[in-house]
Amino acid sequence: MLPFAPHRIAIVIADVSGKGMAAALLMSNLQAIVRAFVSSVTSSADLCSKANAMLAGNIAPGKFITFFCAIVDTDRLLIDYCNAGHNPPVLVRRNAAIERLTAGGPILGIFPGIAFVGGAVSLFAGDTLVLFTDGITEAEDAAGEEFGETRLIDVLHGVQASGAQAIRQGIVDAVRNFAGTSLQDDATFIVLTAPASA
């Protein structure tokens, strides 16, 4: 979460292919790129385009990054977003309707010169937005079955009215109970709620 402008914040989540030192260095490079550009871009799509331009041609063969950026207007509860090949965040409306944030483009670092096209959504009182990496949905039980997005959405429906902290704990508990272990390093998620009194 990064300050963007008065009453605006940028929220980003990403996942790098592979593991180990090479993956850690690539993620570090992405963080530096985001921090360098976030204060000057005009939109989330602009940030994705600039990050991709910096990474493409300077990334090891077979490596790539999935990336999601949202610029949130905290006054008007408007979200400008761009999804670069990342797991589409889940927006749960107060009436339990589900929306997926898919607008954007391909993964970062592979296709130079790609034009990213962002999307926009409004948050209303009682809505919940969850950003996550595949470490959440791909957590496996003893039989090798994945937790999956359907279970994640079921959890959100069950705890949505309880606030961000309860939603966070509900996700953690559900994945741990399913997988029978602690969350893995790449199991990352962000919960954003619009207060019901807004």
Per-domain boundaries in the chain: 2-193
Please tell me which residue, 144 or 7, carries the higher pLDDT value: 144
Structure tokens given for 47? 């940030």
Mean pLDDT of 146-169: 91
Please tell me which residue, 195 or 105, carries the higher pLDDT value: 105
Please tell me which residue, 104 or 57, carries the higher pLDDT value: 104
- Is the pLDDT score of 24 beyond 70? yes
CA angle 82, 146, 99 (to 5 degrees): 35
Strand partners, 11: 70
Q: Check the CA dihedral 53-63-37-21 and report its sign.
A: negative
Mean pLDDT of 107-136: 94
Confidence label for 46 from pLDDT (cuts 50, 70 and 90): very high
Decide: residue 166, CB within 10 A, 0-12 exposed, 13-18 middle, 19+ buried. middle
pLDDT value of position 178:
93
Q: Give the DSSP H or E segment for 170.
A: helix 164-179
Any residues with CB less than 8 A from the CB of 192 and at least 6 apart, and which? 11, 72, 123, 128, 129, 130, 131, 164
Per residue in 55-86, pLDDT (tens digit) is 987 887 888 999 999 999 989 999 999 999 99
Any residues with CB less than 8 A from the CB of 115 and at least 6 apart, and which? 49, 105
- Is the pLDDT score of 3 beyond 70? no
Instruction: Output the CATH code of domain 2-193.
Output: 3.60.40.10
